[in-house]
Amino acid sequence: MMPQSIVVSNRKGKLIRLLGRAPLNVIVLLICAVWLLPSVGLLVSSFRPASAILSSGWWKAFKTPLNFTLENYRKVLTTANMGRSFINSLLISIPATVMPILIAAFAAYAFSWMTFPGRDILFLTVVGLLVVPIQMTLIPVLQLFNSIHLTGTFAGIWIAHTAYGLPFAIYLLRNFIGELPAEMFESAHLDGASHYTVFFRLVLPTSVPALSSLAIFQFMWVWNDLLVALIYLGGNPRVAPMPLTISNLVNSYGGGWEYLTSAAFISMFLPIVIFFSLQKYFVRGILAGSVKG
């Protein structure tokens, strides 16, 4: 049993540390509240009729008598092609997230632990592509896609997003994989493991934090993308993702805010779920390779 004085001292120490962190905790909570406030307002507005949205702010929605409706969601999902667009966004975002991550993981392993001529120059070239604006590539790539009939197809948008996401993906994963212990690879090769075995049995399982943070970035970028979808998919409603459909919704309904709020919340719901599901890996992946040891 610990002496009573030591127990009291430990409790006082914990209380002092807790009080010392109180201002920081309050600031963090305030930042979270400010960050969540627009999302809460959007959610509340999505259940309000047009007359209520135009006549009062969302914070007045809880005054009696309550005036909420599901008509906005029904209208968007049934007549604005939003249900089909949600499926299209999944069909675009999932392959366009998996493909660059898998290719970048192979490339990052090669740049980190394989020796071949021109490795450093090639890696610097890849990193240099980070500063090339996407807008510079739109016309030549669109001309190429038109010539090989990839415009307006899922395959074309997968290739485009994969190419645009590869430089950052390779850079991030190379920083992480390059910091893995060299002894791990040496032991594996001494045991007769091939590069294929080392990559799938050692590199991928130990790179989960970096892969998860990269998946968050890539998925959110593809899911929310409008420019690339607008250029390479055009106005084809059969393959249009949600941002493209929402932009058409604005043109179709003009001031119909009740439809825009519902469509916007449907669009942002899945990325929020994915972010909070993988957030424990997010900071670890972002800081990967920045500090040795």
pLDDT per residue as tens digits for the range 78-90: 777 788 888 999 9
Q: How far apart are CA 44 and CA 42, in angstroms?
A: 6
Domain count across the chain: 2
- Is residue 158 scored above 80 in pLDDT? yes
Q: Are residues 83 and 56 in the same domain?
A: no
Distance CA 75, CA 100 (A): 36
Cβ neighbours around 23 below 10 Å, total: 9
Owning domain of residue 203: 71-286
- pTM to 2 decimal places: 0.79
Q: Are 288 and 176 in contact (CB under 8 A)?
A: yes
Query: Are residues 30 and 139 located together in one domain of the fold?
Result: no
With respect to residue 123, please indicate whether it lies within any of the assigned structural domains. Answer: yes
17-31, 110-124, 279-293: least confident range: 279-293
Q: In this structure, are 49 and 154 located in the same domain?
A: no
Radius of gyration in angstroms for the set of CA atoms belonging to the chain, rounded to a whole number: 25
For residues 56 and 75, membership in a common domain is answered with no
Containing H/E element for 19?
helix 4-46
According to DSSP, residue 65 is labeled S
Instruction: Give pLDDT, residue 54.
Output: 76
Question: Which of 60, 81, 98 finishes a domain?
Answer: 60
CB atoms within 10 A of CB 218: 25
**What is the pLDDT of the chain when averaged over all its residues?**
82
95 and 196 share a domain? yes
- Residues 119 and 228 occupy one common structural domain: yes
18, 145, 247 from 236: Cα distances, Å = 57, 15, 13
Model pLDDT for residues 223-275, shown as the tens digit of each residue: 999 899 989 987 777 888 988 888 777 655 555 566 788 888 888 888 888 87
d(CA 267, CA 254): 19
We report the CATH number of the domain holding residue 184 as: 1.10.3720.10
Same domain assignment for residues 101 and 229: yes
What end-to-end distance do the CA atoms of the chain give, in Å?
38
Tell me: do 175 and 109 sit in the same domain: yes
Residue 192 DSSP class: T
The larger pLDDT score, comparing residue 99 to residue 272, is at 99
